[in-house]
Amino acid sequence: MFAALFSKLGVPIKTTVSATVLEEALNGAVIVRPLQLGQPISRKVEKQCAHFYSVTITEDEARDGFVCRVQSSDKSKFKLLYFELEENGGLSLALQEDSAKTGKVTSAGMYFLGFPVYCLDQTTNSVAAAKDPDAAFFKKLDGFQPCEITELKPGKHVFAVYGDNFFKSVSYTIEAICAAPFIEEKENLRAVEAEILSKRAELSKFETEYREVLAQFTEMTGRYTKEMQEIDELLKQRNEIHASYTTIPLIKRSSSRKKSKAASKEAKEDGEVRDRKPSTRDRTKKKWYNIPLKVDKRKPC
């Protein structure tokens, strides 16, 4: 259950092939379907189950190189397995390649090209990545190791697709390819893997340099904060010293500031009184006093 949760979070988890599948293969109790070169097959395999395929290659095809690839468009987890034939007719597991996300699909492949090719185990530094991203980067190529088998002999060979999902079946497409038409791709693969090996060697030296610079940066950042605090404190002390150059007692200075504030408040209130418009009552009173009195001159008092 925990492995399933980690897998959902994108953390690669190392899993193993079911013992039942391996035992049935060893006893020859599995169904093996033929797989023709250049003819992909799409199927669905249940979780912790396997579909077995046999491929027969000629001497020329073995010399030119052989590739077996599997991909899942719904990004399911699976394993590509290679079995060796035993004398009793059983099958023993010789190689396995875990699927990995490559763009919009998950895929796995085995390349028997007559020269050393490499596989990348992404579960090697998954725990380190969760604890220290820097360490994960420097260990990114630790799982880049040479495959044990570099070429196949002419004859029959058996591969299998193992459903490695935790809760559902796996939809996949498997294909077997003769590498004869892919001369340029073979040389490109050889060249790029040589560069990756060089990078793996450089990472060790680079990590040492990076750690030293990072330690210096951390030290400088701490010093920056400390220097800023000390400068602010010195400037504060300077201002206090400047303020002490006066003959006015502290109490009088405080009283003067209070009087100044009171005067400002009174001036503000006077301005508000002057600016205030007369009320209706004031206008009525003024109008009553200004009423003109008419005197009748015809009637003496």
Q: What is the pLDDT, as a whole number, of residue 42?
A: 97
Q: What is the pLDDT, as a whole number, of residue 255?
A: 58
Calculate ∠ Cα 273-277-281, nearest 5°: 105
Low-confidence spans in the chain with pLDDT less than 50? 1-11, 284-289, 299, 301
Q: What is the pLDDT, as a whole number, of residue 132?
A: 76
Which domains, ranges and CATH numbers included, belong to the chain? 2-115+150-181 (2.60.120.380)
Q: What is the pLDDT, as a whole number, of residue 126?
A: 57
Q: How many CB atoms lie within 10 A of CB 68?
A: 23
- Distances from the Cα of 7 to the Cαs of 13, 78, 91, 161, 163, in angstroms? 6, 13, 30, 19, 14
Q: What is the pLDDT, as a whole number, of residue 135?
A: 82
For residue 98, which of 79, 84, 117, 113 has the smallest C-alpha distance? 79
Q: What is the DSSP string of 28-97?
A: T-S-EEE--BT--EEEEE-BT-EEEEEEEE-HHHHHH-EEEEEEETT---EEEEEEEEPTTS-EEEEEEE
- Distances from the Cα of 91 to the Cαs of 41, 50, 69, 229, in angstroms? 22, 13, 20, 72
Taking only Cα atoms into account, the Rg of the chain, rounded to an integer number of angstroms, comes to 44
CB 101 within 8 A of CB 79: no
Q: What is the pLDDT, as a whole number, of residue 88?
A: 87
CB 57 within 8 A of CB 37: yes
Q: What is the pLDDT, as a whole number, of residue 270?
A: 59
Q: What is the pLDDT, as a whole number, of residue 8?
A: 46
CB 67 within 8 A of CB 109: yes
Distance separating alpha carbons of residues 166 and 76, to the nearest angstrom: 10
Q: What is the pLDDT, as a whole number, of residue 226?
A: 94
Q: What is the pLDDT, as a whole number, of residue 136?
A: 82
Q: Is the pTM of this model over 0.85?
A: no
Classify residue 248 by its DSSP letter.
Answer: S
Residues near 141 by beta carbon (within 8 Å), at least 6 away in sequence? 120, 196, 199, 200, 203
For residue 48, which of 23, 79, 2, 11 has the smallest C-alpha distance? 79
pLDDT digits (tens, 9 = 90+) for 24-63: 999 999 999 999 999 999 999 999 999 999 999 999 999 9
Q: Is the dihedral of CA 255, 256, 258, 262 positive or negative?
A: positive
Q: What is the pLDDT, as a whole number, of residue 277?
A: 53
For residue 174, which of 268, 252, 73 has the smallest C-alpha distance? 73
